[in-house]
Structures are given as C-alpha cells and as structure tokens.
C-alpha cells in the first residue's frame, strides 16, 4: 500500500517519539505506555492466528497467563534473572500453543472459539488449584527489576525500554514472517485451505505452527507484564483479559501489523476515558464506545486508514463515481 520508503519513515518517526517519552512523562503515564506495548505484542500474536490464519481464539488470555506465571515462578522460586524468563516463557508457550493447536485443527470457526474460550475460563481455576507453585489466589509478589550497568534510569523507565526493545524485535520478526513465504501460506489457508493444500501447503502443520507462534507472542507479553506489574494473581487473568485482547485485535484491524498497536492503545486508554466520563457506569460507556467504533470502522482502525489512503490516492488519479457497495467483503490484508 504505502511505499517501502514512506513506511520506513513512519516507523522511524514513531520510534523516535517512543524513545523520547520516558524523559517527558510521569512514571505512571510511562507505565501505561509500557502496558500498551505489552498488549500490542499479545495482540499481534492473536492477530497472526485470527486475522491472518482465520482461526478464532477467545482464549489468548490463557497464554498470557501461562507466560506471566512461567516468568513469575522462575523468578520467585528459583531466583532466575527476569531477562531469561522471557524467552523461556516464549518457548514454553510455543510448545503449549502448538500442542493445543493440534487437536484444535479439527475445529472450525465457532467451535474453536468456544474451546479456546473455555481454556481462558479454566486457566485461573487451574492456577488457584496448584497453590504450591502459584501461591493460590494470593498470587506471587515480585520485585521490579532495576536498570543494569548503573544506567541513570529508574525501574519504570528501564522496563519501558526493555519492553520497547522486545516489541521492536518481535514486530520486525513478525512482519518478516507474515510478509514472506510462510505468511503467504498462512493467509492462503485462511482464504481457501483446499486450494492451499492443492498447491502443496501443509495446512495442518502451518495451522498448528501459527497457533504455537501466536501463543509464544502472547506468552512473551505475559512474561513482560509479570515484571512490569511485579505481581501475578489468577484473577487478573480472567476471561475478560481474553475478551479485551480480542477487542484490541478487531478494533485495531485484523490481519494488520500496525493494527496491533492501535488496538493496544484502545484497550489501554479508552476504559480510562470511559471512567472519566462516567464514574457510575464506566463499562457501559466503554460498551457504547465499542459499538460505535464498529459502526464507524467495521474493519478496525488499520482498515479505516487503509480505505482512506486508497480513496485519497484514487481521487487524485480520477474522479470515480462513489458507490455504496465498495467496502471490501474480506478484511484487506497486509499492513
């Protein structure tokens, strides 16, 4: 859509702004931005699965929880350095996701959504059940990591940069994966899995792998959140977390990389605005926001931007009669 050059400029500008933020914002605001990046990583994971591969998951909070608990237990019980827990959480979630993806292969659409949904419901209960490891419903209190090498950064600023770095690496990897050969295979399976298989794509393998990679992204996000919040408890990973991630994914724009970031901003800040508007029923306001958003942008923020971009370019080329039925029936692909 956008040329490579334009895109690179936009990304670099955004990065420059992101690097300047820690020195202008309060610690609390900064923590909110850290949380946005964490959500963005998790949503990108969900997006790979739901947006690009067409497998619905209503249970990604489960992988987020697993990632968070792997990290927390390693830090709390075995005193492992937090930096090591993040890749371990990623790899373990990859395995768990792959294994969950194998039986899930047989399920389509709604049935997969329900299976993952019940996974999201079950995980907090399972966490409470294994009290010895997880601290039960009390959870585990952790300490915030501080900046190494005597860098002049407070823990919030340091965590912000760690998260940003992980985000950049994972988005870069994700973009390469999704825009390359593997990405084409994944999308081909979504659009027409029989045709994809006829062209030699091993659809079973790719679907389970997508599940695994998707879970790994979300697990890494969970591990980061354990350090960022310095506390894990089963009830913070309830089913609403999964639903929030899905909301972020759809609002941001399915099948889009930049959409994950838009969606993360939405789920982090819009509930706060709702709270500012109505103390009595903030969630009602949030619900209204959600519905209005879907009316205005049924293809999410990334989809709306893309349509505007196309329209702007087209109107420069020629005046084409406007038609009501131009909205694409399939979410447009690629960022």
Partner 1 sequence: MTALLEVRDLEAYYGRTKALHGVSFSMTAGGITTILGANGAGKTTTLRAISRMVRTAGSIVFDGTSLEPRVTEDVVRLGIAHAPEGRGTFVHLTVEENLRLGAWGRRERGSLEEDFARVFAYFPVLASRRRQAAGTLSGGEQQMLAVARALMLRPRLLLLDEPSLGLAPMVVREIFRILRAVNQDAGVTILLVEQNAALALDLADHVFLLETGRVVMEGPSEVLRKDDAIRRAYLGY
Partner 2 sequence: MEVFIQQVVSGLATGGIYAALALALVMIYQATDVVNFAQGEMAMFATYICWSMLNAGVPYWGAFLGTLVLAFLGGIVVERVVIRPVENAPILSIVIVTLGLLVIFNSVAGWIWTYVQKPFPSPFPSKPLKAGNVFFSAHDIGEIVVTLLVLLCIWLFFKFTPLGLAMRAAAHNPVSSRLVGIRVGWMLALGWGLAAVFGAVAGMMIAPVLTLEPNLMGGVQIYAFAGATLGGFTSPGGAVLGGFIVGVVENLVGTYVSFIGTELKFTVALAMIIVVLLVKPTGLFGISVVKRV
- x-or-dash pattern for partner 2, window 14-53, by CB under 8 A? ------------------------------------x---
Question: Does position 115 bind partner 2 by CB under 8 A?
Answer: yes
Question: Does position 325 bind partner 1 by CB under 8 A?
Answer: yes
Taking the CB of residue 95, how many other CB atoms lie within 10 A of it?
13
Q: Which is nearer to partner 2, 88 or 114 (CB)?
A: 114
The item of partner 2, partner 1, none sharing an interface with residue 320, based on CB under 5 to 8 Å by kind, is partner 1
Instruction: Please provide residue 231's backbone torsions phi and psi, each rounded to the nearest 5 degrees.
Output: -165, 135
Provide DSSP, 38-90.
Answer: HHHHHHHHHHIIIIIT----S-HHHHHHHHHHHHHHHHHHH---HHHHHHHHH
Q: Are 215 and 95 in contact (CB under 8 A)?
A: no
Q: Are 39 and 54 in contact (CB under 8 A)?
A: no
Question: Does position 235 bind partner 2 by CB under 8 A?
Answer: no
Structure tokens at 183: 């990405």
Q: Which region, judged by CB under 8 A, interacts with partner 2, from 15-23, 32-40, 125-133, 174-182?
A: 125-133
Q: Are 330 and 51 in contact (CB under 8 A)?
A: no
Question: Does position 294 bind partner 2 by CB under 8 A?
Answer: yes
Member of 26, 79, 323, 330 binding partner 1 (CB under 8 A): 323
Member of 326, 330, 331, 334 binding partner 1 (CB under 8 A): 326
Rounded to the nearest 10 degrees, the angle between the axes of helix 155-179 and helix 203-229 is: 170
Q: How far is the CB of 109 from partner 2 (least distance, A)?
A: 8
d(CA 134, CA 241): 19
Question: Does position 316 bind partner 1 by CB under 8 A?
Answer: no
Structure tokens at 182: 């593997």
Question: Does position 283 bind partner 2 by CB under 8 A?
Answer: yes
Which of positions 189-228 make contact with partner 2 (CB under 8 A)?
Answer: 192, 194-195
- x-or-dash pattern for partner 1, window 91-120, by CB under 8 A? ------------------------------
Q: Which is nearer to partner 1, 151 or 320 (CB)?
A: 320
d(CA 324, CA 333): 21
Query: Which stretches of the chain are DSSP H helices?
Result: 4-20, 27-47, 60-78, 82-104, 109-129, 131-134, 155-179, 181-191, 193-198, 203-229, 239-252, 257-277, 282-296, 300-317
d(CA 93, CA 212): 7
d(CA 275, CA 280): 8
Member of 9, 13, 17, 125 binding partner 2 (CB under 8 A): 125
Member of 7, 324, 331, 334 binding partner 1 (CB under 8 A): 324
Q: Are 260 and 47 in contact (CB under 8 A)?
A: yes
Question: Does position 93 bind partner 2 by CB under 8 A?
Answer: no
Q: How far is the CB of 324 from partner 1 (least distance, A)?
A: 7
Q: How far is the CB of 314 from partner 1 (least distance, A)?
A: 11
The item of partner 1, partner 2, none sharing an interface with residue 33, based on CB under 5 to 8 Å by kind, is none
Question: Does position 320 bind partner 1 by CB under 8 A?
Answer: yes
Handedness of CA 150, 152, 157, 163 (dihedral sign): negative
Q: Which region, judged by CB under 8 A, interacts with partner 1, from 191-199, 210-218, 262-270, 322-330?
A: 322-330
Applying CB under 8 A, the residues found at the interface with partner 2 are 50, 56, 103, 106-108, 110-111, 113-115, 117-119, 121-122, 125-126, 128-129, 192, 194-195, 243, 246-247, 250-251, 254, 280-284, 286-291, 294-295, 298-299, 330-331
Site of interaction with partner 1 (CB under 8 A): 320, 323-326
């Amino acid at each position: 859509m956008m040329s490579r050059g334009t895109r690179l400029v936009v990304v670099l500008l955004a990065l420059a702004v992101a690097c300047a933020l820690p020195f202008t914002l309060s610690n609390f605001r900064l923590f909110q931005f850290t949380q946005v990046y964490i959500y963005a990583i998790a949503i990108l994971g969900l997006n790979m699965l739901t947006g690009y591969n067409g497998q619905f998951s209503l249970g990604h909070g489960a992988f987020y929880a697993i990632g968070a608990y792997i990290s927390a237990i390693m830090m709390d019980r075995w005193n492992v350095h937090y930096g090591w827990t993040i890749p371990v959480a990623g790899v373990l979630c990859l395995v768990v996701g792959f294994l969950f993806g194998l039986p899930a292969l047989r399920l389509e659409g709604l049935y997969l959504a329900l299976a993952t949904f019940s996974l999201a419901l079950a995980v907090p209960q399972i966490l409470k059940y294994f009290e010895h490891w997880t601290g039960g419903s009390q959870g585990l209190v952790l300490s915030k990591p501080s900046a190494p090498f005597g860098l002049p950064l407070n823990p919030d600023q340091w965590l912000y940069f760690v998260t940003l770095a992980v985000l950049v690496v994972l988005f870069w990897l994700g973009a390469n994966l999704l825009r390359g050969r593997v990405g084409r295979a994944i999308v081909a399976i979504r659009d027409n899995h029989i045709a994809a298989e006829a062209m030699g794509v091993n659809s079973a393998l790719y679907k389970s792998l997508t599940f695994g990679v998707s879970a790994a992204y979300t697990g890494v996000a969970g591990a980061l959140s354990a350090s960022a919040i310095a506390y894990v408890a089963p009830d913070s990973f309830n089913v609403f977390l999964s639903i929030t991630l899905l909301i972020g994914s759809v609002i941001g724009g399915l099948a889009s990389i930049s959409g994950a970031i838009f969606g993360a901003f939405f789920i982090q800040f819009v509930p706060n605005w709702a709270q500012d508007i109505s103390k009595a029923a903030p969630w009602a306001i949030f619900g209204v926001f959600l519905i209005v958003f879907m009316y205005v942008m049924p293809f999410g923020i990334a989809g709306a931007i893309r349509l505007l971009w196309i329209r702007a370019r087209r109107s420069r080329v020629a005046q084409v009669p406007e038609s009501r039925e131009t909205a694409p029936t399939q979410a447009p692909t690629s960022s």
